[in-house]
Amino acid sequence: MTQPDTVMLLIGKPGHLRNALQSLVSVAPGLDRLVTADTGPLALKVMREARPSLVFIGNGLPDIEVLELLRQTKEAWPETGCLVLTDGTQQRREALAAGADCVLPAGMSAGQLFPIIQLMLEDSP
């Protein structure tokens, strides 16, 4: 029996951080495929098709969209890891309550995020 592909879904508006993460993560050991989405609704559609091991929610999405995306992801795919960037303490609390596995400050560079993403991919089912 073959192992399923390890897929990461990167969600967020196109920009410098997303582009840098795409470049870094695309060469991560153990990652078979990187897919992206600009919005929560598009992300849910991509998740149904790609079945990612890790969902990375960047900043730039409305808070309510992030929270609903986390809730729906954990309801449908509880084993999927969810990493979220937040802008403050209140967003952090809400993301954790909605099911985020890891919440980090939005100001982190792609280079700082890469080791955390690698660890989460290694721990994914």
pLDDT in tens, 55-67: 999 878 899 999 9
pLDDT at 37 exceeding the cut of 90:
yes
User: What percent of the chain has a predicted confidence (pLDDT) above 90?
Assistant: 56
* pLDDT tens digits, one per residue of 21-35: 788 777 777 788 889
Cβ density class 11-44: b for 16+ within 10 Å, e for less: bbeeeebbeebeebbeebeebeebebbebbeebb
pLDDT at 125: 67
pLDDT at 98 exceeding the cut of 90:
yes
Cβ neighbours around 99 below 10 Å, total? 18
Q: Comparing 16 with 90, which gets the higher pLDDT?
A: 90
Report pTM: 0.89
pLDDT at 111: 80
Sorted by where each starts, the structural domains of the chain and their CATH numbers stand as: 7-123 (3.40.50.2300)
- All residues at 6 or more sequence positions from 118 whose CB lies less than 8 Å from its CB, including other chains: 28, 29, 30
Per-residue pLDDT, averaged over 76-99, amounts to: 95
